[in-house]
């Protein structure tokens, strides 16, 4: 019987996600054994600097892909939003399972965002979240925060921040929803492309693993996520600017929410598109926002992020 080795980051959330995938596969009584291989990534090794300074998109992926290429592991479980826009030809996303909650959550110390005082400090590691927060609540301040979910919550409890913003999906997977003060609606706080979804990555030529992983695939989630990623790729292939994208499929139709923000939140563009083709829905949204000045906002935002 073949033993399948799954590569995972060492964080509690990453391990939990990988174990969930193993459990779901074992439910189908597949003829394999499974074991985890823990891999330290560049993003995890450099938690004292902002993500943009560590190396940008892919910093949580590169070390794992190297292990995959060297056949030290058979597949890897990623948070979809950590994947860069372009994936090397040697690899393939074998499955995108059912999606967890796509929204962002605000965690405060007894107060909602509306109740916070002037100059309250909100922790986030995301330029998108910071920009959307400044747009909705210009009197609030943002400060970058890094580290695992539990470490960020501890920093909040220690009084280093008045609140923090995290993905609902991670909190749900860790059983920490009781700390959530409020759920932030996608219409106002459009999440990152792929937020709440998992990506299972394997070698393109491993047919046995590809067939195994397809058992986990959710076709509607796959369509929605590729719509989001196609939209972002049309605007910013580096995926560094404050861009939000969330899609879902309803009655065979794709509905896509999008946003593009300046770093200071003073300029924010939004557009919703719908249709039955991934390319058509993503392109319509991108073209509309470009017509509204998105390219200039994105260029300025990336320059600002690189200076920080």
Residues of the chain with pLDDT under 70: 42-58, 308
Q: HSE, CB side, 13 Å, CA atoms: give it for residue 22.
A: 21
pLDDT at 57: 55
pLDDT at 237: 86
The verdict on whether 82 is a catalytic residue reads yes
CATH 3.40.50.620 fits 104-184, yes or no: no
CA-CA distance, 5 to 72, in Å (whole number)? 8
Q: Are strands 198-203 and 75-79 parallel, antiparallel or unpaired?
A: antiparallel
Q: 228-307, what's its fold?
A: Double Stranded RNA Binding Domain (3.30.160)
Q: Where in the chain is the domain with CATH 3.30.160.40?
A: 228-307
Catalytic residue among 63, 82, 101, 206: 82
Q: What's the CATH number for 2-97+197-217? A: 3.40.190.10
**Cα-based distances in Å from 134 to 37, 234, 260:** 40, 25, 13
Give per-residue burial for 258-272: e unless 16+ CB within 10 Å, then b.
bbbbbbebebbbbbb
pLDDT per residue as tens digits for the range 252-302 = 999 999 999 999 999 999 999 999 999 999 999 999 999 999 999 999 998
DSSP 192: P
Tell how many helices (H) and how many strands (E) occur in the chain: 11, 13
Q: Where in the chain is the domain with CATH 3.40.190.10?
A: 2-97+197-217, 104-184
CA-CA distance, 240 to 226, in Å (whole number)? 18
pLDDT at 27: 92
pLDDT per residue as tens digits for the range 129-153 = 999 999 999 999 999 998 889 999 9
Tokens of residue 12, six digits: 């509690």
């Amino acid at each position: 019987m073949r033993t399948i080795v799954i590569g995972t980051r060492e964080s509690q959330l990453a391990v939990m996600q990988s174990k969930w995938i193993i459990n779901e596969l074992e439910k189908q009584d597949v003829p394999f054994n499974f074991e985890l291989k823990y891999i330290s990534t560049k993003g995890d090794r450099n938690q004292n600097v902002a993500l943009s300074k560590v190396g940008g998109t892919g910093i949580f992926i590169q070390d794992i892909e190297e292990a995959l290429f060297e056949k030290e592991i058979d597949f890897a479980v990623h948070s979809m939003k950590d994947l860069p826009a372009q994936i090397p030809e040697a690899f393939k996303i074998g499955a995108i399972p059912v999606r967890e909650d796509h929204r962002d959550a605000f965690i405060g110390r007894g107060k909602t965002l509306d109740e916070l005082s002037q100059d309250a400090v909100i922790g986030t590691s995301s330029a998108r979240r910071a920009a959307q927060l400044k747009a909705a609540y210009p009197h609030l301040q943002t400060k970058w925060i890094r580290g695992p979910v539990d470490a960020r919550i501890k920093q909040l409890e220690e009084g280093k921040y008045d609140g923090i913003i995290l993905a609902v999906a991670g909190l749900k997977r860790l059983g920490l929803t009781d700390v959530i003060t409020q759920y932030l609606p996608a219409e106002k706080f459009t999440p990152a492309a792929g937020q709440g979804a998992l990506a299972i990555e394997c070698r393109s030529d491993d047919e046995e693993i590809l067939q195994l992983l397809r058992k986990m695939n959710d076709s509607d989630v796959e369509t929605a996520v590729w719509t989001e990623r196609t939209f972002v790729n049309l605007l910013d292939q580096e995926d560094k600017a404050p861009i939000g994208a969330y899609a879902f499929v309803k009655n065979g139709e794709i509905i896509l929410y999008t946003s593009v923000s300046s770093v200071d939140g003073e300029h924010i563009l939004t557009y919703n598109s719908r249709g039955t083709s991934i390319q058509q829905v993503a392109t319509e949204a991108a073209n509309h926002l470009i017509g509204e000045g998105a390219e200039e906002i994105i260029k300025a935002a990336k320059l600002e992020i690189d200076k920080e």
